[in-house]
């Protein structure tokens, strides 16, 4: 026993009150290197031990603030500098939209930094060896007793004095704890090769497992039962056909049912000459034209075709449909604009079928006539 080095002196107490009183006395005596171990947190222990408030709060604050500013800077750089995009008509740097994201990153970085600094600075990770491990004292204080430990490297430590002091404070058991040989020779450096290899292995295993499960495992039987099907997807190659393409061209000289190809692409004036409104004007067709006009045309041209719309002033202003020029256009000329678009106006061929386009044109004619009535209309 004599060659063993003393780590400290422990004392076990039976009740939380006695351990709080004893801890206060230890602090009063002027010991500095001591600690209290209890099965659960005791109210009032901080005060008895005269502990200063933990420094962890500052770490959380610093990392939280740097996380917040890093997130805001990243978002600003991505959306306002590097790749500006108009999203929902908002400015390039819509900071109110980023506040929830920045808030989350603040919380995330603060909590990760707190946990890591607690592990590395306060618990001295990766050190996992401590003289108290495996002692009777440790078993007791993690079950039903309350203990105090005074370390031997405390400047005021004296074996017999400490023992007597503990017995005076009402300790149920007083014991000495020694270092093991293994613990003394143990190197606690963070750069220990064993630990680094462990870290590296952990990284390789995690990333490897992730890669294998997402890129390989999911594509073998039975996980691929739904994803791989014996049919052709769009753009897929196929050996059945000579040219190797899976997608086929329509047979030359045929037209799909209910569909007439538009023959005047790029020739609006020609379309104006050749095309005529094929839908007879009726109450039903005008009503159908009004519904589609209100849905597709009114956001720019306004509900009455006069250009007074919600988007007025936000784009090159949409023209009025009551101008001399448009009133003199033929139906076919307007049909060409709806089909192909003009200037900022996009094509509406996919939204409106051929018939619907003619109905909208009839409704536009009705609007024009309402504003520019002829003498004969009044009779």
Angle between the 354-371 and 283-292 helix axes, to the nearest 10 degrees?
100
**Which of residues 53 and 155 has its CB atom nearest to other proteins in the complex?**
53
**Which of residues 99 and 201 has its CB atom nearest to other proteins in the complex?**
99
**Which of residues 15 and 168 has its CB atom nearest to other proteins in the complex?**
15
Query: 3-state class of 140 per DSSP?
Result: helix
H helices of 153-192, in order, are 159-168, 181-185
Q: Are 146 and 41 a contacting pair, CB within 8 Å?
A: no
CB of 228 to other proteins, least distance (A): 41
Where residue 341 falls (left for φ over 0; alpha for ψ -120 to 50; beta otherwise) is left
**Which of residues 299 and 341 has its CB atom nearest to other proteins in the complex?**
299
CB of 96 to other proteins, least distance (A): 5
**Which of residues 64 and 332 has its CB atom nearest to other proteins in the complex?**
64
**Which of residues 88 and 155 has its CB atom nearest to other proteins in the complex?**
88
End-to-end CA distance of the chain: 126
In the chain, beta strands by DSSP E: 6-13, 34-37, 146-151, 173-178
Q: Are 25 and 154 a contacting pair, CB within 8 Å?
A: no
**Which of residues 10 and 109 has its CB atom nearest to other proteins in the complex?**
109
CB of 39 to other proteins, least distance (A): 18
- Site of interaction with other proteins (CB under 8 A): 43-44, 53, 57, 88-90, 96-97, 99-100, 310
In the sheet with 6-13, reading across from the earlier edge strand, the strands are 34-37, 146-151, 6-13, 173-178
Residue 171's nearest CA partner among 149, 139, 143, 138 is 149
CB of 6 to other proteins, least distance (A): 36
CB of 118 to other proteins, least distance (A): 17
Q: How far apart are CA 180 and CA 61, in angstroms?
A: 40
Residue 262's nearest CA partner among 157, 177, 185, 338 is 338
Q: How far apart are CA 37 and CA 284, in angstroms?
A: 87
Q: How far apart are CA 223 and CA 17, in angstroms?
A: 60
How far does CA 68 lie from the centroid of its chain?
14
**Which of residues 64 and 272 has its CB atom nearest to other proteins in the complex?**
64
CB of 208 to other proteins, least distance (A): 41
**Which of residues 57 and 341 has its CB atom nearest to other proteins in the complex?**
57
CB of 311 to other proteins, least distance (A): 12
Contacts of residue 36, defined as CB under 8 A and 6 or more positions apart, other chains included, come to 19, 23, 45, 49, 146, 147, 148, 149
CB of 117 to other proteins, least distance (A): 18
CB of 41 to other proteins, least distance (A): 10
């Amino acid at each position: 026993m004599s060659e063993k080095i003393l780590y400290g002196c422990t004392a076990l107490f039976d009740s939380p009150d006695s351990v709080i009183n004893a801890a206060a006395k230890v602090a009063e005596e002027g010991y500095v290197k001591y600690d209290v171990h209890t099965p659960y947190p005791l109210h009032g222990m901080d005060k008895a031990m005269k502990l200063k408030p933990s420094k962890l709060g500052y770490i959380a604050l610093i990392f939280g603030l740097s996380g917040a500013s890093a997130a805001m800077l990243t978002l600003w750089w991505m959306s306002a500098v590097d790749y500006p995009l108009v999203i929902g008509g908002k400015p390039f740097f819509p900071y109110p939209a980023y506040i929830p994201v920045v808030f989350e990153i603040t919380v995330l970085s603060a909590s990760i930094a707190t946990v890591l600094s607690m592990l590395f600075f306060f618990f001295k990770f990766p050190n996992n060896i401590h003289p108290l491990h495996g002692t009777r004292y440790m078993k007791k204080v993690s079950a039903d007793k309350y203990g105090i430990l005074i370390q031997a490297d405390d400047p005021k430590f004296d074996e017999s004095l400490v023992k007597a002091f503990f017995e005076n404070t009402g300790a149920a058991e007083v014991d000495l704890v020694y270092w093991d040989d293994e613990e003394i020779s143990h190197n606690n450096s963070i750069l220990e090769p064993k630990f680094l290899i462990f870290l590296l292995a952990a990284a390789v295993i995690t990333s490897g497992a992730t890669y294998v499960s997402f890129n390989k495992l999911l594509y073998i039987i039975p996980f691929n039962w739904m994803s791989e099907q014996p049919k052709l997807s769009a753009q897929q190659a196929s050996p059945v056909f000579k040219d190797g393409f899976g997608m086929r061209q329509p047979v030359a000289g045929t037209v799909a049912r209910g569909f007439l190809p538009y023959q005047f692409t790029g020739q609006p004036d020609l379309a104006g000459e050749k095309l005529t409104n094929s839908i007879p004007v009726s109450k039903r067709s005008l009503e159908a034209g009004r519904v589609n006009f209100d849905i597709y045309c009114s956001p720019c041209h306004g509900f009455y075709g006069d250009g007074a719309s919600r988007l007025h002033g936000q784009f090159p202003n949409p023209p009025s449909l009551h101008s001399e020029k448009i009133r003199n256009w033929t139906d076919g000329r307007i049909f060409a604009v709806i089909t192909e678009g003009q200037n900022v106006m996009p094509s509406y061929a996919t939204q409106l079928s051929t018939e619907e386009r003619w109905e909208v044109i009839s409704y536009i004619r009705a609007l024009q006539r309402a504003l520019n009535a002829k003498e004969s209309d009044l009779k």
